[in-house]
Amino acid sequence: MTPTLSPTTYEPLTAFDRCDRCGAQGRVRVLLLSGSDLVFCGHHAREYDAKLRDLGVEIVADETADIS
């Protein structure tokens, strides 16, 4: 059983976390209303930002500022 993510207990993203859309390194993790999560690269996080917010998801990790 995997623990449900929450804003205070999510695991930081690592190089092994990949974008669920394209497979690039994950930079943003969103928590869906169902309790599952999605990971996006910076590009896809920006592309889907408005739609995700309309769905009421919670962004629990945003590491796009860490891109060097």
- Taking 60 as the threshold, does the pLDDT of residue 7 lie above it? no
pLDDT at 1: 46
Q: Tell me the residue range of the domain where 62 lies.
A: 28-66
pLDDT at 55: 87
pLDDT at 30: 93
Do the domain assignments include residue 61?
Answer: yes
pLDDT in tens, 23-58: 999 999 999 888 889 999 999 999 999 998 898 888
Do the domain assignments include residue 14?
Answer: no
Do the domain assignments include residue 20?
Answer: no
- Taking 80 as the threshold, does the pLDDT of residue 68 lie above it? no
Do the domain assignments include residue 38?
Answer: yes
**Number of domains present in the structure of the chain:** 1
Task: Please state the pTM of the whole predicted model.
Answer: 0.79
Do the domain assignments include residue 13?
Answer: no
Q: 37 in the Ramachandran plot: left (φ > 0), alpha (ψ -120 to 50) or beta?
A: beta
d(CA 23, CA 6) in angstroms, rounded, equals 23
